[in-house]
């Protein structure tokens, strides 16, 4: 049996200051320690078959792990701490959720921990951790630049960067899909209302997204379809509270129409003040966007039919024309609608129907749309990253906002590669 003694001895003498539990979680998850000669603190041989799946909620850190201790297989949960005494400091002895812990993994063993009078098998990582990896990690996350790896990202093979961008994009779409699923359930699984609301939210963009959603809840799509699509404009404008006190002659007739529906249904309109204009160009004012939204609604079928349209048809859908044949929505706004409404809907529908082809269509659509151009994307470009389409820009936004900003470099393929390189 070959044991690399000099390597082990050098780890034992290393000081791991400010050890972090997050770091230990990732080290455990990736088994980044010599795992073929492990022993518990009481000297029993230990084999790790499965690290378990990472639990980010309350309860043990890893569920359903599998180990072999002294020749006997065990399945159960794994808890990780900096010191074994943290078990008592965190009061796990009073929490039944921890009774099925089969292994306590600690950086430093300072106290025996008992469950129902039996000492929990404990693996101490301090003697076997890779000090060079820890120092690289510590120095990486101490960086205060725009992103911690700013000065090193160019040393990474673009292949790993692309893989990380794709992973971040899928995480982003999966998160949006989960939110859409919750909304779908809250709407009583009403597919038409869901699509209507998501379209409206995208129409409201950053500033009026919530008022637009409120509008679609006060004026549900079934009411518009019951009264006929031609009524969508007065019904939406009236519900939005934007027909109050108007004097323009061309809007007066719409006000009369709204009064009729008000008597019929006793709608409760929104406050005019719910709508924001500050920071918007006149073309983005709520009155204009509601009119355009009504035009979009007017050209839909009662089931919207977005999901089975081709990419070309989806792009065409937002190319509304006025009487002179000019496009009503700018190309940029059309792309935003596709990116913020249609892509998440398609991805969610793929989950809902367990049909990957809808998810592939969402990804293909993003690859077909131009990249956004905002300050985050400009900063990525300054690091010489190629941002070819909305696929890249959406992935990079997610990477910056949800991973780099929280210094989750151990969860990032770029960070893992940098640390493995010992840079
Ligand atoms: S999360 Fe990844 S891309 Fe972001 S700073 Fe860390 S290593 Fe770099």
**DSSP 8-state secondary structure symbol assigned to residue 373:** -
> What confidence tier does 422 reach under pLDDT thresholds 50, 70, 90?
low
| Interval between CA 90 and ligand 1 midpoint (Å) | 31
Mean pLDDT of 14-42: 87
Higher pLDDT, 356 or 248: 356
Note the pLDDT of residue 4.
Answer: 40
User: How does DSSP classify residue 282?
Assistant: G
CA 377–ligand 1 middle distance (angstroms): 15
The pLDDT assigned to 302 comes to 67
Q: By percentage, how much of the chain surpasses pLDDT 70?
A: 95
Q: Phi, psi at residue 252, to the nearest 5°?
A: -60, -45
- pLDDT, tens digit (0-9, with 9 covering 90-100), for 148-176: 999 999 999 999 999 999 999 999 999 99
Query: Ligand 1, closest atom to CA 141?
Result: 6
In this model, does residue 312 exceed pLDDT 60? yes
Residue 107 Cα to ligand 1 midpoint, Å, equals 25
Q: Give me the mean pLDDT over the 15-30 stretch.
A: 87
In sequence order, the 6+-apart residues with CB closer than 8 A to the CB of 220 are 193, 196
Contacts of 287 (CB under 8 A, 6+ apart): 237, 242
Residue 390: Cβ-neighbour burial (10 angstroms; 0-12, 13-18, 19+): buried
CB-CB contact of 418 with 136 (8 Å): yes
Ligand 1 centroid – CA 416 distance (Å): 9
Closest CA to 64 of 76, 55, 72, 74: 76
| Ligand 1 pocket residues where CB is under 6 Å | 147-149, 153, 399, 403-404, 408-409, 412, 414-415
Mutational test site, ligand 1, from 157, 384, 403, 420, max ligand atoms within 8 Å of CB: 403
Cα of 411 from ligand 1 centre, angstroms: 9
For residue 16, the model assigns a pLDDT of 67
Cβ partners under 8 Å of residue 417, min gap 6:
156, 157, 160
Specify the pLDDT at position 11.
42
- Where along the chain do its domains lie? 5-129, 132-186+370-423, 187-368
How far is Cα 187 from Cα 199, in angstroms, rounded to an integer?
A: 15
pLDDT in tens, 320-354: 888 888 889 999 999 999 999 999 999 999 999 99
Task: Report helix, strand or coil for 222.
Answer: helix
Parallel, antiparallel or unpaired: strands 45-50 and 62-69: antiparallel
**Residue of 146, 163, 409, 423 best suited for mutating to test ligand 1, as the one with most atoms within 8 Å of CB:** 409
Token pair of 113 as six digits: 């921990």
Average pLDDT over residues 38-60: 95
């Amino acid at each position: 049996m070959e044991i690399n003694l000099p390597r082990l001895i050098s780890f034992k003498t290393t000081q791991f200051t400010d050890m972090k539990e997050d770091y230990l979680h990732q080290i455990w998850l990736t088994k980044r320690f010599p795992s073929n000669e492990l022993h518990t603190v009481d000297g029993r041989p230990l084999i790790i078959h499965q690290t378990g799946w990472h639990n980010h909620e309350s309860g043990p850190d890893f569920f359903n792990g599998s180990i072999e201790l002294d020749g006997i297989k065990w399945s159960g949960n794994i808890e990780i701490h900096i010191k074994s005494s943290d078990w008592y400091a965190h009061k796990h002895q009073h929490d039944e959720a921890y009774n099925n812990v089969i292994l306590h993994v600690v950086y430093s063993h300072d106290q025996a921990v008992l469950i129902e009078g039996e000492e929990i098998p404990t693996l101490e990582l301090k003697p076997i951790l890779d000090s060079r990896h820890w120092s690289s990690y510590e120095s990486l996350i101490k960086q205060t630049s725009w992103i911690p790896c700013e000065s090193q990202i160019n040393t990474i093979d673009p292949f790993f960067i692309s893989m990380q961008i794709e992973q971040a994009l899928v995480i982003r779409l999966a998160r949006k899909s989960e939110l859409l699923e919750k909304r779908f359930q809250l709407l009583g699984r009403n597919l038409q209302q869901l699509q209507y609301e998501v379209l409206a939210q995208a129409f409201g963009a950053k500033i009026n997204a919530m008022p637009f959603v409120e509008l679609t809840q006060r004026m549900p799509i079934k009411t518009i379809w019951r009264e006929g699509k031609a009524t969508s404009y007065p019904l939406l404008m009236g519900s939005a509270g934007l027909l109050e006190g108007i004097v323009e002659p061309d809007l007066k007739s719409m006000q009369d129409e709204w009064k009729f529906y008000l008597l019929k249904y006793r709608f409760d309109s929104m406050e005019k003040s719910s709508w924001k204009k500050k920071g918007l160009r006149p073309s983005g004012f709520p009155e204009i966007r509601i009119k355009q939204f009504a035009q979009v609604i007017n050209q839909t079928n009662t089931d919207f039919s977005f999901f089975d349209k081709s990419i070309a048809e989806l792009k065409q859908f937002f190319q509304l024309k006025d009487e002179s044949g000019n496009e009503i929505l700018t190309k940029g706004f059309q792309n935003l609608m596709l990116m913020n409404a249609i892509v998440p809907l398609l991805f969610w529908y793929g989950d809902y129907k367990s049909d990957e082809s809808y998810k592939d269509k969402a990804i293909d659509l993003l690859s077909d749309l131009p990249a956004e151009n905002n300050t985050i994307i400009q900063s990525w470009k300054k690091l010489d990253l190629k941002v070819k389409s909305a696929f890249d820009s959406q992935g990079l936004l997610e990477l910056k906002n949800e991973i780099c900003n929280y210094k989750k470099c151990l969860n990032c393929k770029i960070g893992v590669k940098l640390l493995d390189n010992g840079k």
